[in-house]
Structures are given as C-alpha cells and as structure tokens.
Amino acid sequence: MGIDALRGQELHDHGLVAGHASRHRDRADRPQSQHPRRTHRSLRWSQRPPDAAPEGIRRLIPVAAVIRRRRCRLSHPLEKGSSMSSSHTLRTRRPAVRALRMLAAVISVGAVTALSACAPPGLDESGGTQERVTVSLAQEPRSMGSWAAVSDEGSPWIYNIEEPLVMRDAETGEALPGLAVSWEQTDPTAWTFQLRENVTFHDGTPFDAEVAAAALNWTWKPENNYPLLQFMGPQITAEASGEHELVITTPEEDPILPSRLFFSPIFSPKTLEDGTYETTPVGTGPYSFVSWERGQYLDVEANPDWWGLEADSDQTALTVQSARFAFNADPAVRASAVQAANADIGVQLQPAQCLPACAKTGSVETILLRLDAETNPMLKDVRVRQAIAEGLDLSGLVEQYVPEGARASQLIREGVTGYNPDLEPYPHDVEHAKELLDEARADGVDLSLPLRVVARTGFVDQGGEIIQVLQAQLAELGFDATSALTENSQLQAGLREKPASPDRGWVLLYSHSNQLGDMSATTGWFTCDGSVSTMCDPELDALTEQAMATSGDERQELFAAAAERLWGDYSVIPVAQPARFNAISESIDWEARNDGLVLLTEITRGA
C-alpha cells in the first residue's frame, strides 16, 4: 500500500472523505537488472528573503539562516521560482492528502495553544531573562562525556563547555584555531600543534600539552570503543613534546587530521580521577557545567575567566550569563515552549510549528535505510536488496514526511569530499522490483523470511507513521513485514550488534550526520569492520583505504568511486537530506547553523 493510499484510508476511516482515488504514475523505461551509473539531477527549493525584514538581516546565508523577526516564510520545492530538472515527474496532491495536511495543521496549532498554558518539565515558566537563555532540544544525551560531541544528542551543547584543539567554520568547514593556535604536518604520519597558553579549566587545572594528550588518548582509546572511532578515520596517539607543544601520530597518513580533532573536545583529567567523566563535564569553554537533571535539563553558567574574552578584543563579556538545555522528544512541546516564552529556541520542528520566528537551514544529515545484508539469508541476495530499494516509494515518503527535504542519492551531501555528482536516487519501479524477486525465488532464495522495519522513538516527527508506510509497501512487494519503534538504548545495542542474528531481518530507518565534510566520516556504515556496517565488500574497502591516505583531487576521485560502488550494493539505501526548522523567540538574535550546534556566544538579546 502506497503513502497516499494509506493516508486516504485513514481519512476514510475517520469520515473525512468519501473515497480515495488511486494515483497514476508516469513510468519511465524500465531498467533490466543492475542499473548503470546515473546522471545526477539536483533537487533544490527556493528561499525568498522576508519583504519587511529589519535592516541588517535581509541577506541569505547558504549555511546559516538569518533569523527573521516574523513568521517563517517557507517555499515548497515545486512552487514558482524553485529549481528542478524538467525530467522530474511533478506530483499533484490529491484532496485526501490536502485534507490531512489541513487537519494536521489544525491539530498542531490546537496542541500548541493548549500546551502554552504551562511550562513542560525542564522549562522556565517565567521564560528567558535578559541574561538567561533556554533551549529546547529533541534528545537527552546518554552521557556528558567528551565523546558525545560526535553524536546529535551531544553536539548542540557540549562545545559551550569543552573546547577542541581545532574549531571549524560552520559555513566553509575550514579548520580554525581553538585550543591550538597553529599546526603543521611534520611527517607523513605526524602533526605538530602549538597550544594556547594561559588557559585554565573550570576546576582550576592548567591547560597544557600533557593534559591535551591525556584527553585525546582517552577519547581515542580502542578499549573505550566510543562511536567516534568508527566515523573519524585512523587511530591517533598524542604525546607532549613541550609544555605547549603536542605531537599527534597516526598509523598511516591522515591529511585531514586537524579537521577531525574538532570532534575531540579537551576535558579536565580530574574527571577521570574522580570518576565523573560521564556525568560532569569540565572544560575550558565560555560556559561551565552547573547540573544535569536526568530526563529534564542541563544547566550551564558563564565562565568569567574564559580565555576568549581576552583573545578577542571585540568581545569583553558574555551576553548570556546562564542557559538551560531542556530535553523533550515531542516537537509540539518544544514549539509551545517558545510560543509561551518558556524557551528561546526550539529545535527540529515542523514548518507549521516554527513560530513566532523561524530559522531554516540545511543539515549535515542523511536519512537512510540499513538492511541486514551480511547475515540475513534473504537479504544477502543483491536482487532482493535492489528490489527493496526500487519497490519503496521513497520520493513520495520524502515529499509527505520530510518538509522541504531533498531525495538523497548517496550518504553524503553535495560539497562533502567524495560526493559523486553522477549518481541519482534509486528509481521507484515496483514492476521491476517484483521481477527481481521472481528471479531470486527461481534461484532458490527463500523470500518468506520476516522483515522488521525499525526506528528510534523520537527519531523524526511522525516516525511511527513512516515505518508503517514502509511496512505496508514491503508487504505490497510480497514480504512478511512488521514495524516497531524502539527506545534509543535498545536500538543503539542492535545498531552495533555484529554479527547480526541471521533471523533478525532489520530494515533500519536511521540518519547519518557528516559534520566533518569528508566521506571518511561515513565509512562506519559500509566498511567490513565498520561499527554500524552490515556489509563487507573487500574491493570497496580497498578503495576506501586508498582514499584515506590521499588528499585533494585524488581523494575526491577515490571516494567518489567508492560512493558509486556502494550505490550498486543496495545494503544502505539513501532516503533524504532534510532541512532543519528552529523556532526562535523574538527577543533574541541568533544565526542557526546547519551542523546543529547551539553556541551561546552566538546569541544576543534584541532591543
């Protein structure tokens, strides 16, 4: 059953429409078995600046959206002024879908109004003050440890407390000085960093090369097996070569090591000594940790001794004196908190919830489907995987559930090293998918094994409905499919289960965030030893290893070749590259970042 059919049935069941018309789809020439390399067709949407925006905020920034002091004006990917190849088939929403959209909008506004009467747990009933800011986040971190910087649940807040040796420009990805003021590659496998002097941790510990080395070696320690190891390239070893000089070595050449260090914030060694590393972050940043009320919020306060106040002559004081990062998985609650002035920022919302002002940005995420390809007897067959990739109406799913998102052709977005412009999204071709399944069945592949569509609770808005749609479409192809939302702790264990149980049959709906801007941060999804990989292709591994040791055009070409080979394996199916929508209080000025970080030093109160 397709997306429109399922929604039409829901409307019919609730008496909203009298009937539901079937959708007609223009069919292109059907490919045979394996699709050849394809010509990319980009899908973009228009952005129009507000007509009445105050002076100074009318410009559009490619990566960070300027916050507009009015209701967010959003444009549909297909509206006049948008850019789209004419080879794309344009879809017209039928009355049933439009009716559901209107009903959803009414319900959303009603829910927001009802929820505005009181503050949710972790939010201030009095709202923000001139010196305090409250940010409503979608996820609570599993840990306060520095390793959380590589996760979507940790990265929004952790850089306020702990700082890395190397910062990065959110728009260009350029490596910038952080706790290191300069660096150079002194050997093919060694980099030397000159560290900032006169820096102190929040607990009074002086920052020097010995402390930096200890923090890096802990974060990258193989025995700790933090997620960062699987997404950030080769192992590193750090050693002090002077009081403020650090040498970092790698087993093989790593041309982008400085950029990778952004994901390794430096923490005080005392947190390891007293056993508080996972619960009490202590860094050198502009804000220090106050408390973590599990299930509710994280509080921080300004660090008056932050080195940045002296290093930056343009900033002599921190505007935001304290902040609360509140956690709530319900987007309606996050939206209502901002509208009721109980929060200043609400992240990851639907466009209709993005009030009173809205910051729309791109993102570094790719939504994907990962199949249990290596161990499941049915999913081991590439024809079965290709049938799933082509049999699911992923373009329809993106249109309905990922507002202003773009259909993805690969696991990385345009602009990331390794992006292959010759690839396009898998076609939607149910008839060809069924032909592939018939071929596999004729060759003895048992297609009766169960499949289970799985996603994390709170992963995306309407996640339960999305996995039901996928389940219905798999059933339409003839699979025995079920679906389930799973708590994050359980899903994380299953995500990294290696080898997966042969009878598990997961079709996992998940997302990959590539903040590094390089395909090396994506290899954990497809290399033989990748922590979240369910495939093993020695030729793909060889291409990846070659790319990791190169730079410039050669690195781009090798990773692009790896992306093409991965495309033809169908073990990891790219779905969408979403946009982000953040509700903003009218009392603050803030430029949202596409990497999802909420840096308090970038927030100021309006007049």
Domains, the chain, ranges and CATH? 65-72+112-161+285-362+580-607 (3.40.190.10), 162-275 (3.40.190.10), 365-578 (3.10.105.10)
* C-alpha 251 chain-centroid distance: 29
401-431: burial string, b at 16+ Cβ within 10 Å, e else: bbbbbbbbbbbbbeebbbbbeebbbbbbbbe
394, 541 Cβ separation under 8 angstroms: no
Q: Which two tokens stand for residue 213?
A: 């080395």
The predicted pLDDT at position 363 comes to 86
Amino acid residing at 282 = V
Amino acid residing at 174 = E
How far is the C-alpha of 288 from the C-alpha of 162, rounded, in Å?
9
CA–CA distances in Å: residue 607 to residues 58, 251, 585: 18, 54, 13
Nearest residue to 14 via CA among 95, 108, 98, 100: 100
266-285: burial string, b at 16+ Cβ within 10 Å, e else: bbbbbbeeeebbeebbbbbb
User: What is the total residue count of the chain?
Assistant: 607
How far is the C-alpha of 607 from the C-alpha of 600, rounded, in Å?
18
pLDDT digits (tens, 9 = 90+) for 382-411: 999 999 999 999 999 999 999 899 999 999
Beta bridge partners of 185: 191
The predicted pLDDT at position 314 comes to 67
Q: Which residue has the tokens 């791109």?
A: 362
Q: Which two tokens stand for residue 508?
A: 């996992």
The predicted pLDDT at position 545 comes to 93
Q: What are phi and psi of 325, to 5 degrees?
A: -105, 105
CA–CA distances in Å: residue 510 to residues 67, 261, 366, 473, 532: 29, 25, 9, 18, 11
How far is the C-alpha of 400 from the C-alpha of 7, rounded, in Å?
10
284, 163 Cβ separation under 8 angstroms: yes
Beta bridge partners of 450: 480
Q: Is the peptide bond before 50 cis (omega within 30 degrees of 0)?
A: no
Q: Which two tokens stand for residue 330?
A: 């319900």
Q: Where are the alpha helices (DSSP H) in 359-442?
A: 382-391, 394-401, 430-442
Beta bridge partners of 369: 509, 573
How far is the C-alpha of 433 from the C-alpha of 388, rounded, in Å?
7
Q: Is 496 exposed, middle or buried (0-12, 13-18, 19+ CB in 10 A)?
A: middle
The predicted pLDDT at position 149 comes to 86
For the beta carbon of residue 239, count every other beta carbon within 10 angstroms: 15
Nearest residue to 361 via CA among 343, 378, 347: 347
How far is the C-alpha of 248 from the C-alpha of 468, rounded, in Å?
48
573, 374 Cβ separation under 8 angstroms: no
Nearest residue to 570 via CA among 535, 518, 538, 545: 535
Rg of the chain's alpha carbons, rounded to an integer? 25
- Helix (H) or strand (E) holding 298, with range, is strand 297-302
How far is the C-alpha of 144 from the C-alpha of 11, rounded, in Å?
44
Q: pTM of this prediction?
A: 0.72
SS3 content of the chain, % helix, strand, coil (to 5): 30, 20, 50
The predicted pLDDT at position 312 comes to 63
Q: What ranges make up the beta strands (E) of 490-548?
A: 506-513
364, 64 Cβ separation under 8 angstroms: no
513, 152 Cβ separation under 8 angstroms: yes
Task: Give the alpha-carbon dihedral of 127, 128, 134, 136, to 10 degrees.
Answer: 30
The predicted pLDDT at position 76 comes to 31
Q: Which residues of the chain have pLDDT under 70?
A: 1-130, 230-233, 311-315, 606-607
Check residue 87 and report its DSSP letter.
T
How far is the C-alpha of 35 from the C-alpha of 24, rounded, in Å?
24
Q: Can you tell me whether residue 230 is helix, strand or coil? A: helix
Q: Is the peptide bond before 377 cis (omega within 30 degrees of 0)?
A: no
The predicted pLDDT at position 556 comes to 97
pLDDT digits (tens, 9 = 90+) for 507-559: 999 999 898 899 999 999 999 999 899 999 999 999 999 999 899 999 999 99
How far is the C-alpha of 513 from the C-alpha of 516, rounded, in Å?
9
Q: Where are the alpha helices (DSSP H) in 279-374?
A: 308-311, 331-339
157, 598 Cβ separation under 8 angstroms: yes
